[in-house]
A and B are shown apart, each in its own frame.
Chain A
Amino acid sequence: GESVGLHLPTLSVQEGDNSIINCAYSNSASDYFIWYKQESGKGPQFIIDIRSNMDKRQGQRVTVLLNKTVKHLSLQIAATQPGDSAVYFCAEIFYGGSNYKLTFGKGTLLTVNP
């Protein structure tokens, strides 16, 4: 199986609602996690990151939660807007000596309905 995966392939929400996108990972040795947003035809865009020694990190309208006990990562988007519609990927990063390995999950398509 894949080391990073997403529970839901699609998520549809109403504008103004809060969105929660989930991700499971299996490599307990991962050091760092990133959420990326990918709009159609564009490259992955950094949203927020979190180190493995943290439980929560907040940005502008976004919050990432890390639960190492169950190896679960989530991205919360407050007051979701139509511009938030995109595919969201979680990615885990493992440092092995001088190596740095970033592995993407499959992605969740978020659709925001006006």
Chain B
Amino acid sequence: EPEVTQTPSHQVTQMGQEVILRCVPISNHLYFYWYRQILGQKVEFLVSFYNNEISEKSEIFDDQFSVERPDGSNFTLKIRSTKLEDSAMYFCASRGDSSSGNTIYFGEGSWLTVV
């Protein structure tokens, strides 16, 4: 069964450093998302991406965050200067068009620890 894959599974970084989290969405999907989950809390929306541009972003997704689809398969989330409060599990997700269903499928997550 097709799945969303994410790398790295876990990353520890120094505060102020740049981090890039990588995702390979399901191959025929068109819509891409990043969500995050702080330990013990619910999953929160960060950003959605379609047709090579951001379609919606939350208040969390400030100027320190950016997303990119550098080629036909990868979808990345960059945090320019990490803060302690960026420590969380980051989930990539993807969705096909309406004809293939409306479910968002999630990857296994990248656990980011900022020290």
> Which A residues lie at the B interface, using CB under 8 A?
32, 34, 36, 41-46, 49, 89, 93, 98-107
Contact = CB atoms under 8 A, between A and B. Distances in A.
Interface of B: 4, 31, 33, 41-45, 48, 55-56, 91, 95, 102-109, 111
Main secondary structure of the interface of B (DSSP, over half): strand
A36 B42 CA distance: 12
B103 A43 contact: no
Contacts of B104: 34, 102
A43 B31 contact: no
Given A49-B102, A100-B102, A107 B42 contact: yes
A34 B55 contact: no
B103 A49 contact: yes
Contacts of A49: 102-103
